[in-house]
Amino acid sequence: MRLLFLGDMVGKTGRTAVWERLPGLVGDLKLDFVIVNGENAAGGFGITEDIFLETINAGADVVTTGNHVWDQKEAVVFCERHDQFLRPANYPAGTPGRGSNLFFARNGARVLVANIMGRVFMHPELDDPFKAAETILDACPLGEQADAIVFDFHAEATSEKQCFGHFVDGRASFVVGTHTHVPTADHQILNGGTAYMSDAGMCGDYDSSLGIDKEEPLNRFISKMPKGRFEAASGPATICGVGVEISDRTGLAEKIAPLRLGPRLSETIPQFWS
């Protein structure tokens, strides 16, 4: 199975780039399943229902989120209407929406996708992510109810992300980090067969501070005084993500490589798909 994950879409420039390029990628790379993190898609803060639907229409099978999931208040309502929209699974019981769900890929495989949020340097501090993952895996084990399992681990600390990867190694197909908006160089297959990358990077303008127009963040670092609001950068976007080849027999990863398309970072497409 060919799976593509795209990192956090940031603002109009990021989401537009994904909408324009994703349909072609699905066809050209013969993708079976696509996941996109959309939590910064609305001006850098949250996601609206229209943006979610446009992302699905462009070819995403699932849209994940993170700590900004509720920044757009309408998300509290529309999250209940869409099975393909995920918020972190380790929110307390009774939180609207769902944190994981089982989907069918284009090749017929059953794909469990779970959105988990870390706790180190993160706000709000949610329930134990490791216990949440254990509950999800117990309910839908790889090779039984699921042919592939993917975790979007939305967290700040790379140590927490790496430990989470090791925690589910051999029990999940792929663990990918989001939130820090900078693509890491540690894509690998762990000892038990789980593909791992600490951060997929963002889909947005890299001439920025994490996708935000750089002037106001820079001002606050220097003066400690706000002059205005944070606004999403509006320059040309670079799409960042990661591709994984998953065994149809075992549900574990066979290959992993980054995908980057755009003007700022060196362009690369997983060679095993070229």
- Catalytic amino acids? 68
- CA 267, chain centre distance (Å): 19
For residue 47, give the nearest of 5, 98, 12 by alpha carbon. 12
Identify whether the C-beta of residue 253 lies closer than 8 Å to the C-beta of residue 246.
yes
For residue 3, give the nearest of 47, 59, 43 by alpha carbon. 59
The DSSP symbol for 263 reads S
- Side chain identity, residue 241: G
- Side chain identity, residue 226: P
State how beta strands 110-117 and 100-104 pair: antiparallel
Identify whether the C-beta of residue 15 lies closer than 8 Å to the C-beta of residue 24.
no
For residue 239, give the nearest of 257, 263, 255 by alpha carbon. 263
